[in-house]
Structure 1
Amino acid sequence: MAIPARFWDGQVATAHHAGLDYEAVGSAGTLVIRQPHSRTEIGRWPADSLFMVPTRRHELRLGSTGQPDGARVVIAGRDNIARVLATLPQLHQKHRAEAGRQMRLAVTATLALAAVISAYVYGVPVLASRLVHLVPPAWEASLGDTVAQQMETSLGGLDICDPDPQSLANRALRRFGDAAIAGTGTPFDLDIQVVRSEVPNAFALPGGKVYFFSNLLHLARTPDEFAGVLAHEIGHVVNRHGMEQLISTAGTGALIGFILGDMTGISLAAGLGTMVIDTRFSRLSELQADAFAAEVAQRMDFHPAGLADLVGRAGADDDFARALALLSTHPLTDDRKAALELMAAERPTGLEPPFTDAEWRAIKGMCDLPAAGKRKGG
């Protein structure tokens, strides 16, 4: 007695009522699909070509290799399904083999993904720190100029607070920068600019450009706080973190990290996946820049923990920030301040302050000058 079924031939969307017969010829067999009343044959599928297709409960759906993609035979009812499976036991064997193959593929893909993530988390940052020394400084400086131009375009121009390079404030910034990089062997000349912006931020570009936003300057209460942040950004330049980050993130397929030193957590960010992969490297860069600021404080009379005080005031850590500490590209303020306090514990006495009182007043007042229109920095 034929087993009732529905049959799609893969050519049209209409289903046909059908009856299924099984013809055995030696060790081979064939599923014969017939019209239920006339018994006219409308399909013949070799048994060894059959496979099970996922479907709903209490239904068996079969396909056949060599048939159109949409060709299907659907059997409903427990008794009918049991008769088919009893006649074609190889279906279960194929199904188990396919499930095992899919499981092996899933395990292999998971291990491959874990290997890739491990390579990026542990290998790419190490590789980037090595490769950065092979990049010609002139090329890196040119890259920094390009990024600055792109940034200026995206912001509609940069409003430099004090464009006079011979003003007391700019001469003080230049002197501080020269003293900070003295003896480091850096191939770059610093270009420090204070820019009008409502965003409390400071950052360094590859090649020596450092930008300090006016809002962050206004939040600075002491020369120590300002000097700490500025030395931190100069540390990014000296350690060539911009170029390292570019090399590292290029390995993940995203050219992020041109701009380092996003002191308040506001960044030119990319997706969460890339951020997680690159977190370890970014946090290491921030700690290295903090250490550089502490080293500069060993040569000038300022307390490097002022850096953490200003960062904390500009973007205080909250419970949400602490919960995402592992995803943060910057160490939490309390952690950084504690580390900076330790690094400053043996700071010598009798050092020259980073700025005179007159210089500090001039720096604090740089952006109190009337705005003269947006100018290109550099």
Structure 2
Amino acid sequence: MRSTCPDTAARIASARPLPHIPPMLKLTPILLAVLYALAMYRFSAWRTARELDARSSELADARLKRLTDRMAEALDLPRIRVHIYEIAPVNGLAAPDGRIFLTRGFYDRYRAGEVTAEELASVIAHEMGHVALGHARRRMIDFSGQNALRTALAMVLGRFLPGIGVVVANTLASVLAARLSRQDEYEADAYAAALLTKAGIGTGPQKSLFDKLDRLTAGRGGVMPAWLMSHPKTAERVRAIEELEARWAAVTVE
């Protein structure tokens, strides 16, 4: 009986076809990432709504109501409801269900005279822009998707870049998230500028508030590079509004 030499056996073994991998198995990681993103979205929406319900109440302020009534009239709405979210940081929030929130910290700055009613109205207009443009819901979906992307990238890059793959994946996901967030902010600023102008309040309070935000938020905007910031820099936001005003003026003249 003839024996096969080792070299020949190796060539025969290497020539054997690879086992067939069903297409569904190839797509399994992608499907799992999509399902994970959907589950995260549902959970985040539920958790956010529960937190806001437990720690907020409707705002009752006569001076602010006069301004929100003017904006409601400009939008042909019966009224604009605003809620106070009982946390200290200075911020505004548009919830996925369409509700508008001001934090207690922001409202306290208004009550202390550091922020005018018109400036606070510009925050409400900005958050209404997020709702009208679908940002609130999209942000939560994006956040869930980015978590799934972050996990998938970490798994893939971890094979090729042991030790730093996870760091690279987190950085890439953070850059993407920041860019999407900045674009949303510009769009909401433009919406607010148009609404404030139509309501007769004007963009002056919007721009003056931007100049105060760095101080009100303890200068956090200047700590990290622009490409990692979730909000555009103050000067860029003001410039974008002034460019809008210039275009509107040009159209009026024509």
Q: TM-score range by the shorter chain?
A: 0.5 to 0.7
Aligned to 1:236: 130
Aligned to 1:297: 196
Query: Alignment identity in percent?
Result: 22
Alignment RMSD: 4.1
Q: 1:223 aligns with which of 104, 109, 117?
A: 117
CA distance in 2, matches of 1:216, 1:145: 24
Q: 1:286 aligns with which of 173, 181, 185?
A: 185
Aligned to 1:205: 95
CA distance in 1, matches of 2:222, 2:52: 35
Q: What's the CA shift string for 1:317-345, capped at 9, x where partnerless?
A: 56532xx2112121111211222233345
Matched-pair contact (CA < 8 Å) for 1:226–1:306: no
Offset of residue 197 of structure 1: 2.6
Give the aligned residue type for 2:97.
G
Structure with greater helix percent = 2
Offset of residue 233 of structure 1: 0.8
Matched-pair contact (CA < 8 Å) for 2:56–2:83: no
Matched-pair contact (CA < 8 Å) for 1:202–1:213: yes
Aligned to 2:49: 149
Give the aligned residue type for 2:182.
R
Q: What's the CA shift string for 1:109-152, capped at 9, x where partnerless?
A: xxxxxxx9xxxxxxxxxxxxxxxxxxxxxxxxx99984553224
Helix, strand or coil: the match of 2:84? strand
Scaled by the length of structure 1, the TM-score of the pair is 0.42
Give the aligned residue type for 1:337.
V
Give the aligned residue type for 2:94.
A
C-alpha distance 244-233 of structure 1, shift in aligned 2 (>3 A)? same
C-alpha distance 309-199 of structure 1, shift in aligned 2 (>3 A)? same
Q: Extract unaligned runs of 5+ from structure 2.
A: 15-29, 31-41, 150-169, 250-254
Aligned to 1:332: 233
Scaled by the length of structure 2, the TM-score of the pair is 0.59
C-alpha distance 214-180 of structure 1, shift in aligned 2 (>3 A)? farther
Give the aligned residue type for 1:310.
K
CA distance in 1, matches of 2:5, 2:120: 85
CA distance in 2, matches of 1:236, 1:276: 21
Equivalenced residues, count:
193
Aligned to 1:10: none
Helix, strand or coil: the match of 1:338? helix
Q: Which has the higher contact order (CA 8 A, sep 6+)?
A: 2
Q: Extract unaligned runs of 5+ from structure 1.
A: 1-24, 30-45, 50-65, 67-93, 95-115, 117-141, 256-270, 349-378
Offset of residue 211 of structure 1: 0.7
CA distance in 2, matches of 1:216, 1:327: 24
1:160 to 2:57 alignment: yes
Matched-pair contact (CA < 8 Å) for 1:158–1:195: yes
C-alpha distance 189-204 of structure 1, shift in aligned 2 (>3 A)? farther
C-alpha distance 346-28 of structure 1, shift in aligned 2 (>3 A)? closer
Aligned to 1:192: 82
C-alpha distance 147-319 of structure 1, shift in aligned 2 (>3 A)? closer
CA distance in 1, matches of 2:132, 2:191: 9
Offset of residue 276 of structure 1: 2.2
